[in-house]
Structure 1
């Protein structure tokens, strides 16, 4: 009985660790994202200096940013995606470009949640 309980706890602990170490699995988006689609170009927070980071940390932060871009891209409709890409191409700041999109309240909430969650992940990963 004790061995079965130990095995069960061990399996649950391993699953929990895997979920924590691979957040991309938990936040994977259903549906297609076309390879030729323009993704949102996001800026890194000003608190990070590339010279202070190891190559592995830089790679992890870039992966987090790319995942964030895909999540934001999924929230927008096709006309908003096109307008955002156009604004960014013209050199508009990321946040200003988002403000120009006339987002619905639900979209604003989702994007704010994505940005907040991403910033938390970036702070956590920077300390690794």
Structure 2
């Protein structure tokens, strides 16, 4: 139980460090995040089950990190919007995020995309 808490704190601290140390990630007026442009879709390339599982794990971690940065009312609104049939990206765009939350969201998505690209690159080189 304590290990999971430590992992979450470590991930959030890492994300915060990225935001603080790389100012080009965080901008004064963040753009909307579009998962479809940079996320790797497992169906587009012939991935092994192991690589699909690794990509799914990255996406699940990304979603947990995003949930963790939202307050309870934002999580409720996100759940309602997703339940209404909207995509994850559309649901996030509908939330009234604070500027620091927008910066954190961009950092989480960029880190996740880098991880997914690394997994895909390992697959392509095998």
Structure 1: where are the runs of 5+ without partners? Answer: 1-24, 31-41
Over alpha carbons, which structure has the higher Rg? 1
> What is the alpha-carbon root mean square deviation over aligned residues?
2.4
Distance in 2 of aligned mates of 1:46 and 1:122? 7
Structure 2, unaligned stretches of length 5 or more?
Answer: 10-34
Is the 2:65–2:108 Cα contact (8 Å) retained in structure 1? Answer: yes
TM-score (norm 2): 0.64
User: Structure 1 residue 100: deviation in Å?
Assistant: 1.1
1:108, CA displacement in angstroms? Answer: 0.5
Distance 1:67 1:113 in 2: 13
**How many residues are paired up?**
92
> Is this contact kept in 2: 1:57–1:125, CA < 8 A?
yes
The structure whose RCO (Cα within 8 Å, separation 6+) is larger is 2
Quote the Cα distance in structure 1 between the aligned partners of 2:83 and 2:56: 20
Match of 1:110 in 2: 104
